[in-house]
């Protein structure tokens, strides 16, 4: 039986995580989960809208904010029952998490902490942002270390300084990290497909680490006119949330067509919580840019293989149970066998409380080899391609 590997789960440190760092805490703005929620949902639209033309913050807040932040009133407990066991801000407990892993039969879990990287939204000083992220990475690595290798910290980074990125990747690899978060947008006007990023990709392969695009790290430029919905903030939130597949599609196309995966054949991009239902279309469509007719408009490609071949080899995505990941068996049927991999997103409400049980039922008619590849074989083979397997 292949070891089950969970590439996307979460830990948060609680409100007192900065107590051991009083000098740093003094320099930070007070946390505002409401502002962060608004930025995550409609920030891409609002960034281009003048402050005086934006709807009031209270109207922009998601209607389920009380549930999101675990602060609902006593009479709302029934409403929360649907989300029992799924907490966006569940405070980390390594021993409890390992117990849950044992119950699920999961051998290894890669854990994200958003407490530090969230300050990127509210802090303008890039040096301070890097200090906060590094401190949060330390907290996460220390917390995961108590699990004796069962929990692996996912590294957060600040990409305004690529020297910092390489240094922090190196440091975090020494602390057990094998995955790091990346943006799907240009930083200081430079996209991840630019040759200046090659040192990041080279370091990743040398260190045996994988970049991950996780939901919340997409960003697209919108005409601010889309924010004008006649005061209907519900419609505004829906329009903004519908863009989630645009940014990952742009990133994947850019990395493929720019030759990043040709220069770094062992590099693997992970996609988490950005949907997988769009991947079969992209897999069918991505070679059109290098077709003979396209050459009349775009010029001749310098790639040595088909774009779809890089996509199949160098991109792995993990589904959840949402509509954009359904029907999963149909999506898997339309993709190469090695593209989709397992994650729980535990304990977030959009994830699973019983992920292995969910997939065991779903995969009853799937060949055992295909199911085992999804649950752990594919991702471990991708790490082994860098010369450093997980298990």
pLDDT (tens digit per residue) in 150-189: 999 999 999 999 999 999 999 999 999 999 999 999 999 9
Contacts of 350 (CB under 8 A, 6+ apart): 86, 273, 320, 321, 322
> CB–CB of 11/111 below 8 Å?
yes
Specify the 3-state DSSP secondary structure of 106: strand
Query: Residue 322 — pLDDT band, cuts 50, 70, 90?
Result: confident
Residue 265 in tokens: 């054949």
pTM of the model: 0.90
DSSP 184: S
pLDDT (tens digit per residue) in 254-275: 999 999 999 999 999 999 999 9
- Rounded CA separation 11/29 (Å): 22
Cα distance between the two ends of the chain: 13
Stretch among 86-90, 361-365, 376-380 having the lowest mean pLDDT = 86-90
Residue 103 in tokens: 């119950």
DSSP 107: E
pLDDT of 79 reads: 40
- Which residue in this structure is represented by tokens 């639209």? 45
Taken in order of first residue, the domains within the chain and their CATH numbers are: 4-384 (3.20.20.140)
Whether the upstream peptide bond of residue 164 has omega within 30° of 0, thus cis, is no
β-sheet bridge partners, residue 151? 109
């Amino acid at each position: 039986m292949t070891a089950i590997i969970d590439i996307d789960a979460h830990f948060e440190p609680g409100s007192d995580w900065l107590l051991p760092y009083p000098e740093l805490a003094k320099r930070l703005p007070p946390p505002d989960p409401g502002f962060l929620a608004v930025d995550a949902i409609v920030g891409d639209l609002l960034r281009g809208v003048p402050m005086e033309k934006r709807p009031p913050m209270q109207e922009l807040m998601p209607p389920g904010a009380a549930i999101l932040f675990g602060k609902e009133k006593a009479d709302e407990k029934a409403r929360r029952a649907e989300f029992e066991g799924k907490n966006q801000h569940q405070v980390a407990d390594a021993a409890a998490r390992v117990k849950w892993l044992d119950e699920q039969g999961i051998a290894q879990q890669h854990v994200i902490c958003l407490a530090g990287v969230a300050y990127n939204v509210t802090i303008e000083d890039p040096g301070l942002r890097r200090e906060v992220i590094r401190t949060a990475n330390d907290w996460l690595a220390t917390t995961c270390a108590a699990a004796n290798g069962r929990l692996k910290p996912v590294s957060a980074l600040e990409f305004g300084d690529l020297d910092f990125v390489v240094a922090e990747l190196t440091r975090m690899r020494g602390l057990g990290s094998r995955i790091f978060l990346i943006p799907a947008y240009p930083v200081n006007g430079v996209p991840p497909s630019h040759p200046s990023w090659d040192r990041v990709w080279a370091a990743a392969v040398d260190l045996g680490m994988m970049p991950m695009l996780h939901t919340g790290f997409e960003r697209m430029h919108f005409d601010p006119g889309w924010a004008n919905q006649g005061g209907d903030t519900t419609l505004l939130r829906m329009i903004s949330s519908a863009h989630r597949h645009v940014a990952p599609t742009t990133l994947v196309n850019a990395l493929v067509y720019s030759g990043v995966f040709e220069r770094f054949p062992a590099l693997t991009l992970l996609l988490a919580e950005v949907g997988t239902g769009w991947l079969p279309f992209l897999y069918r469509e991505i070679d059109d840019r290098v077709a003979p007719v396209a050459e009349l408009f775009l010029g001749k490609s310098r790639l040595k293989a088909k774009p779809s071949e890089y996509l199949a080899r160098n991109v792995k995505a993990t589904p959840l149970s949402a509509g954009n990941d359904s029907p999963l068996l149909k999506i898997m049927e339309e993709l190469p066998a090695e593209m989709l991999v397992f994650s729980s997103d535990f304990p977030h409400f959009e994830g699973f409380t019983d992920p292995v049980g969910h997939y065991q039922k779903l995969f009853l008619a799937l060949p055992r080899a295909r199911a085992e590849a999804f649950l752990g074989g594919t991702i471990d083979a991708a790490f082994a391609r860098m010369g450093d397997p997980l298990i």
